[in-house]
Amino acid sequence: MNIYMAPLISLVITLVLMPAAIPVLRWLKFGQSIREIGPSWHRKKTGTPTMGGVVIFIAVLVALAIFSKEIDHSAWFALFCALGFGLIGFIDDFIKVILKRNLGLKAWQKTALQLLVGVIFIFGGLNTGVLSTSVIIPFTDIMFDFSWVYIPFALFVLVGAVNSVNLTDGIDGLAASVTTVVMLYFAFASQAVTSPVAVFCFTVVGSLLGFLVFNKYPARVFMGDTGSLFLGGAVVAVALLQHNPFILLVVGVIYILETLSVIIQVASFKLTGKRVFKMSPLHHHFEMSGWSEVKIVAVFTAITIAASFVSYFFKV
Protein backbone atom coordinates (compact mmCIF):
# COMPACT_ATOMS: atom_id res chain seq x y z
CA MET A 1 0.00 0.00 0.00
CA ASN A 2 1.34 3.46 -0.93
CA ILE A 3 2.36 5.56 2.05
CA TYR A 4 0.46 8.47 0.53
CA MET A 5 -2.72 6.66 1.50
CA ALA A 6 -2.00 7.82 5.08
CA PRO A 7 -3.53 11.31 4.64
CA LEU A 8 -6.58 9.81 2.95
CA ILE A 9 -6.98 7.25 5.73
CA SER A 10 -6.66 10.04 8.31
CA LEU A 11 -9.35 12.04 6.51
CA VAL A 12 -11.72 9.07 6.27
CA ILE A 13 -11.24 8.08 9.93
CA THR A 14 -12.08 11.62 11.05
CA LEU A 15 -15.16 11.81 8.80
CA VAL A 16 -16.37 8.43 10.10
CA LEU A 17 -15.56 8.84 13.79
CA MET A 18 -16.65 12.43 14.34
CA PRO A 19 -20.39 11.94 13.68
CA ALA A 20 -20.31 9.10 16.21
CA ALA A 21 -18.14 11.02 18.67
CA ILE A 22 -20.29 14.17 18.81
CA PRO A 23 -23.39 12.50 20.36
CA VAL A 24 -21.15 10.49 22.69
CA LEU A 25 -19.40 13.66 23.88
CA ARG A 26 -22.79 15.29 24.35
CA TRP A 27 -24.10 12.26 26.28
CA LEU A 28 -21.01 12.34 28.50
CA LYS A 29 -21.74 16.06 29.05
CA PHE A 30 -18.36 17.01 27.59
CA GLY A 31 -19.75 20.42 26.75
CA GLN A 32 -17.77 23.63 26.39
CA SER A 33 -18.06 26.17 29.22
CA ILE A 34 -17.90 29.73 27.89
CA ARG A 35 -16.01 32.13 30.14
CA GLU A 36 -17.85 35.25 31.24
CA ILE A 37 -14.99 37.51 30.10
CA GLY A 38 -15.42 36.42 26.48
CA PRO A 39 -17.73 37.99 23.89
CA SER A 40 -21.30 37.83 25.23
CA TRP A 41 -22.63 36.21 22.05
CA HIS A 42 -20.31 33.25 22.57
CA ARG A 43 -22.51 32.12 25.44
CA LYS A 44 -24.89 30.50 22.95
CA LYS A 45 -22.06 28.03 22.29
CA THR A 46 -22.22 26.76 25.87
CA GLY A 47 -22.72 23.01 25.84
CA THR A 48 -21.26 22.45 22.37
CA PRO A 49 -19.27 19.20 22.61
CA THR A 50 -15.55 19.73 23.12
CA MET A 51 -12.46 17.48 23.22
CA GLY A 52 -13.03 16.64 19.55
CA GLY A 53 -9.25 16.83 19.25
CA VAL A 54 -9.20 13.23 20.48
CA VAL A 55 -10.53 12.17 17.07
CA ILE A 56 -7.84 14.22 15.31
CA PHE A 57 -4.96 12.44 16.98
CA ILE A 58 -6.62 9.01 16.82
CA ALA A 59 -6.93 9.48 13.06
CA VAL A 60 -3.30 10.58 12.69
CA LEU A 61 -1.98 7.84 14.98
CA VAL A 62 -3.90 5.04 13.25
CA ALA A 63 -3.06 6.26 9.75
CA LEU A 64 0.67 6.42 10.52
CA ALA A 65 0.63 3.14 12.45
CA ILE A 66 -0.64 1.36 9.33
CA PHE A 67 2.54 2.46 7.56
CA SER A 68 4.83 2.05 10.57
CA LYS A 69 7.44 0.09 8.59
CA GLU A 70 7.81 2.99 6.16
CA ILE A 71 8.04 5.74 8.81
CA ASP A 72 11.45 6.78 10.14
CA HIS A 73 12.58 8.25 13.45
CA SER A 74 11.84 11.85 12.45
CA ALA A 75 8.13 11.23 11.83
CA TRP A 76 7.79 9.23 15.05
CA PHE A 77 9.44 12.06 17.00
CA ALA A 78 6.99 14.53 15.44
CA LEU A 79 4.10 12.25 16.42
CA PHE A 80 5.47 11.86 19.95
CA CYS A 81 5.72 15.63 20.37
CA ALA A 82 2.18 16.17 19.07
CA LEU A 83 0.70 13.38 21.20
CA GLY A 84 2.64 14.50 24.28
CA PHE A 85 1.25 18.01 24.13
CA GLY A 86 -2.15 16.64 23.11
CA LEU A 87 -2.21 14.51 26.26
CA ILE A 88 -1.52 17.60 28.36
CA GLY A 89 -4.44 19.26 26.61
CA PHE A 90 -6.61 16.23 27.32
CA ILE A 91 -5.80 16.44 31.04
CA ASP A 92 -6.57 20.17 30.96
CA ASP A 93 -9.90 19.57 29.21
CA PHE A 94 -10.76 16.74 31.61
CA ILE A 95 -10.30 19.05 34.59
CA LYS A 96 -12.40 21.76 32.96
CA VAL A 97 -15.20 19.55 31.66
CA ILE A 98 -15.43 16.70 34.18
CA LEU A 99 -14.17 18.34 37.35
CA LYS A 100 -15.90 21.61 36.40
CA ARG A 101 -12.83 23.74 37.11
CA ASN A 102 -13.09 26.24 34.28
CA LEU A 103 -9.42 27.24 34.18
CA GLY A 104 -8.16 23.64 33.96
CA LEU A 105 -4.58 22.89 34.93
CA LYS A 106 -2.81 25.52 36.96
CA ALA A 107 -0.29 27.54 34.96
CA TRP A 108 2.72 26.00 36.69
CA GLN A 109 1.36 22.48 36.20
CA LYS A 110 0.78 23.01 32.48
CA THR A 111 4.21 24.63 32.04
CA ALA A 112 5.98 21.82 33.94
CA LEU A 113 4.30 19.13 31.83
CA GLN A 114 5.07 21.00 28.61
CA LEU A 115 8.71 21.37 29.61
CA LEU A 116 8.87 17.65 30.37
CA VAL A 117 7.58 16.72 26.91
CA GLY A 118 9.92 19.29 25.38
CA VAL A 119 12.99 17.97 27.18
CA ILE A 120 12.26 14.37 26.13
CA PHE A 121 11.70 15.45 22.52
CA ILE A 122 14.82 17.62 22.32
CA PHE A 123 17.27 15.27 24.05
CA GLY A 124 15.86 12.26 22.22
CA GLY A 125 16.06 14.08 18.91
CA LEU A 126 19.63 15.25 19.46
CA ASN A 127 20.77 11.78 20.58
CA THR A 128 19.25 10.09 17.52
CA GLY A 129 20.39 12.77 15.09
CA VAL A 130 16.96 13.88 13.89
CA LEU A 131 17.56 17.26 15.52
CA SER A 132 20.60 19.46 15.10
CA THR A 133 21.95 22.41 17.06
CA SER A 134 22.36 24.22 13.73
CA VAL A 135 19.30 26.05 12.42
CA ILE A 136 18.47 27.78 9.17
CA ILE A 137 18.33 31.56 9.02
CA PRO A 138 15.30 32.13 6.77
CA PHE A 139 15.81 33.66 3.29
CA THR A 140 19.57 33.09 3.49
CA ASP A 141 21.94 30.16 2.94
CA ILE A 142 23.23 30.49 6.50
CA MET A 143 23.09 27.72 9.10
CA PHE A 144 23.69 29.06 12.60
CA ASP A 145 25.00 26.70 15.26
CA PHE A 146 23.46 27.41 18.66
CA SER A 147 25.70 24.83 20.35
CA TRP A 148 24.63 24.22 23.98
CA VAL A 149 22.26 27.22 23.83
CA TYR A 150 20.10 25.18 21.46
CA ILE A 151 18.43 23.28 24.29
CA PRO A 152 16.94 26.29 26.14
CA PHE A 153 16.26 27.95 22.77
CA ALA A 154 14.34 24.93 21.46
CA LEU A 155 12.42 24.61 24.73
CA PHE A 156 11.40 28.26 24.48
CA VAL A 157 10.27 27.78 20.88
CA LEU A 158 8.35 24.60 21.77
CA VAL A 159 6.43 25.98 24.72
CA GLY A 160 5.89 29.39 23.12
CA ALA A 161 4.66 28.07 19.77
CA VAL A 162 2.40 25.41 21.29
CA ASN A 163 0.66 27.94 23.49
CA SER A 164 0.38 30.39 20.58
CA VAL A 165 -1.56 27.79 18.60
CA ASN A 166 -3.71 27.22 21.69
CA LEU A 167 -4.53 30.96 21.86
CA THR A 168 -5.54 30.92 18.20
CA ASP A 169 -8.26 28.35 18.91
CA GLY A 170 -10.94 30.83 19.96
CA ILE A 171 -13.53 30.90 17.18
CA ASP A 172 -15.07 28.27 14.93
CA GLY A 173 -12.61 26.82 12.43
CA LEU A 174 -9.77 29.29 13.02
CA ALA A 175 -7.01 27.12 14.50
CA ALA A 176 -7.82 24.22 12.18
CA SER A 177 -7.83 26.42 9.04
CA VAL A 178 -4.61 28.29 9.84
CA THR A 179 -2.80 25.12 10.92
CA THR A 180 -3.87 23.29 7.74
CA VAL A 181 -2.03 25.93 5.71
CA VAL A 182 1.02 25.89 7.99
CA MET A 183 1.32 22.08 7.83
CA LEU A 184 0.95 22.16 4.03
CA TYR A 185 3.81 24.67 3.92
CA PHE A 186 6.07 22.39 5.95
CA ALA A 187 5.09 19.39 3.83
CA PHE A 188 6.09 21.09 0.59
CA ALA A 189 9.14 22.72 2.21
CA SER A 190 10.53 19.27 3.11
CA GLN A 191 13.54 17.99 1.21
CA ALA A 192 11.09 15.73 -0.59
CA VAL A 193 7.30 15.58 -0.40
CA THR A 194 7.70 11.83 -0.07
CA SER A 195 9.79 12.15 3.10
CA PRO A 196 8.30 10.72 6.32
CA VAL A 197 8.04 14.20 7.88
CA ALA A 198 6.12 15.45 4.83
CA VAL A 199 3.82 12.43 5.08
CA PHE A 200 3.26 13.26 8.76
CA CYS A 201 2.31 16.82 7.76
CA PHE A 202 -0.09 15.64 5.06
CA THR A 203 -1.64 13.13 7.47
CA VAL A 204 -2.35 15.89 10.00
CA VAL A 205 -3.84 17.96 7.18
CA GLY A 206 -6.10 15.05 6.21
CA SER A 207 -7.49 14.85 9.72
CA LEU A 208 -7.91 18.63 9.93
CA LEU A 209 -9.87 18.76 6.68
CA GLY A 210 -12.20 16.11 8.08
CA PHE A 211 -12.49 17.99 11.37
CA LEU A 212 -13.34 21.26 9.62
CA VAL A 213 -16.49 19.68 8.21
CA PHE A 214 -17.79 19.69 11.79
CA ASN A 215 -15.86 22.65 13.22
CA LYS A 216 -16.59 25.32 10.60
CA TYR A 217 -19.10 27.99 11.64
CA PRO A 218 -21.44 27.20 13.29
CA ALA A 219 -19.32 24.55 14.97
CA ARG A 220 -20.90 21.26 15.98
CA VAL A 221 -17.79 20.32 17.96
CA PHE A 222 -14.70 22.04 19.37
CA MET A 223 -11.22 20.55 19.42
CA GLY A 224 -10.52 21.77 22.97
CA ASP A 225 -7.02 22.03 24.38
CA THR A 226 -6.72 18.35 23.45
CA GLY A 227 -6.68 19.33 19.80
CA SER A 228 -5.01 22.75 19.90
CA LEU A 229 -2.03 21.54 21.95
CA PHE A 230 -1.73 18.48 19.70
CA LEU A 231 -1.60 20.77 16.66
CA GLY A 232 0.86 23.10 18.37
CA GLY A 233 3.13 20.17 19.14
CA ALA A 234 2.89 18.97 15.54
CA VAL A 235 3.71 22.39 14.06
CA VAL A 236 6.72 23.16 16.23
CA ALA A 237 8.09 19.61 16.06
CA VAL A 238 8.17 19.74 12.28
CA ALA A 239 9.77 23.21 12.33
CA LEU A 240 12.55 21.92 14.59
CA LEU A 241 12.97 18.68 12.63
CA GLN A 242 13.44 20.73 9.46
CA HIS A 243 16.00 22.84 11.37
CA ASN A 244 13.92 25.92 10.56
CA PRO A 245 12.18 27.20 13.72
CA PHE A 246 12.61 30.87 12.77
CA ILE A 247 10.30 30.41 9.78
CA LEU A 248 7.45 30.18 12.31
CA LEU A 249 7.79 33.96 12.66
CA VAL A 250 6.58 34.17 9.04
CA VAL A 251 4.30 31.22 8.26
CA GLY A 252 3.01 31.29 11.85
CA VAL A 253 2.36 35.04 11.73
CA ILE A 254 -1.22 34.58 12.97
CA TYR A 255 -0.02 32.57 15.96
CA ILE A 256 2.51 35.32 16.71
CA LEU A 257 -0.01 38.15 16.39
CA GLU A 258 -2.51 36.35 18.62
CA THR A 259 0.13 35.93 21.31
CA LEU A 260 1.48 39.47 21.00
CA SER A 261 -2.04 40.87 21.34
CA VAL A 262 -2.40 39.13 24.71
CA ILE A 263 1.04 40.27 25.92
CA ILE A 264 0.42 43.87 24.81
CA GLN A 265 -3.06 43.91 26.34
CA VAL A 266 -1.89 42.63 29.72
CA ALA A 267 1.20 44.87 29.83
CA SER A 268 -0.75 47.97 28.81
CA PHE A 269 -3.48 47.38 31.39
CA LYS A 270 -1.00 46.75 34.20
CA LEU A 271 1.17 49.77 33.33
CA THR A 272 -1.45 52.33 32.29
CA GLY A 273 -4.82 50.88 33.27
CA LYS A 274 -5.87 51.11 29.60
CA ARG A 275 -6.46 48.41 27.00
CA VAL A 276 -4.99 48.56 23.51
CA PHE A 277 -7.47 46.09 22.03
CA LYS A 278 -11.20 45.82 22.58
CA MET A 279 -10.51 42.27 23.68
CA SER A 280 -7.65 39.80 23.31
CA PRO A 281 -6.57 37.50 21.73
CA LEU A 282 -6.65 39.38 18.43
CA HIS A 283 -9.55 37.47 16.86
CA HIS A 284 -11.81 38.70 19.67
CA HIS A 285 -10.78 42.31 18.93
CA PHE A 286 -12.05 41.91 15.37
CA GLU A 287 -15.21 40.22 16.65
CA MET A 288 -15.85 43.20 18.94
CA SER A 289 -15.22 45.46 15.91
CA GLY A 290 -18.09 43.83 14.06
CA TRP A 291 -16.35 41.16 11.99
CA SER A 292 -18.13 37.82 11.68
CA GLU A 293 -16.32 34.63 12.67
CA VAL A 294 -16.40 33.51 9.03
CA LYS A 295 -14.71 36.73 7.89
CA ILE A 296 -12.01 36.49 10.56
CA VAL A 297 -11.21 32.89 9.63
CA ALA A 298 -11.11 33.77 5.92
CA VAL A 299 -8.81 36.78 6.41
CA PHE A 300 -6.47 35.11 8.91
CA THR A 301 -6.21 32.03 6.69
CA ALA A 302 -5.52 34.20 3.63
CA ILE A 303 -2.74 35.98 5.53
CA THR A 304 -1.24 32.60 6.42
CA ILE A 305 -1.43 31.47 2.78
CA ALA A 306 0.33 34.66 1.65
CA ALA A 307 3.04 34.27 4.32
CA SER A 308 3.54 30.63 3.31
CA PHE A 309 3.91 31.53 -0.37
CA VAL A 310 6.52 34.17 0.49
CA SER A 311 8.39 31.72 2.70
CA TYR A 312 8.34 28.98 0.07
CA PHE A 313 9.11 30.90 -3.12
CA PHE A 314 11.68 33.30 -1.67
CA LYS A 315 13.71 30.73 0.24
CA VAL A 316 17.34 30.37 -0.79
At residue 112, the pLDDT reads: 96
Q: How many CB atoms lie within 10 A of CB 185?
A: 24
Average pLDDT over residues 197-209: 96
Q: What is the Cα–Cα distance from 147 to 216, expressed in whole angstroms?
A: 43
Contact 87, 140 (CB under 8 A): no
Please check the confidence at residue 2 and state whether its pLDDT lies above 80: no
Please check the confidence at residue 38 and state whether its pLDDT lies above 60: no
Which residues are CB-contacts of 41 (< 8 A; sequence separation ≥ 6)?
A: none
Give per-residue pLDDT as tens, 211-259. Answer: 999 999 999 999 999 999 999 999 999 999 999 999 999 999 999 999 9
Burial of 27 by CB count in 10 Å (0-12 exposed, 13-18 middle, 19+ buried)?
exposed
Percent of the chain residues past pLDDT 90, beyond the cut: 77
Q: Which of 43-57, 73-87, 114-128, 261-275 has the lowest mean pLDDT?
A: 43-57
Average pLDDT over residues 31-55: 71
Please check the confidence at residue 276 and state whether its pLDDT lies above 90: yes
Give per-residue pLDDT as tens, 126-145. Answer: 999 999 999 999 988 899 99
Q: Is the dihedral of CA 103, 108, 113, 114 positive or negative?
A: positive
Helix (H) or strand (E) holding 134: strand 134-136
Q: What is the Cα–Cα distance from 54 to 68, expressed in whole angstroms?
A: 20
Mean pLDDT of the chain: 91
- What is the band of 42 on the pLDDT scale with cuts at 50, 70, 90? low
At residue 39, the pLDDT reads: 61
Query: Which DSSP symbol is given to 34?
Result: P
Percent of the chain residues past pLDDT 70, beyond the cut: 92
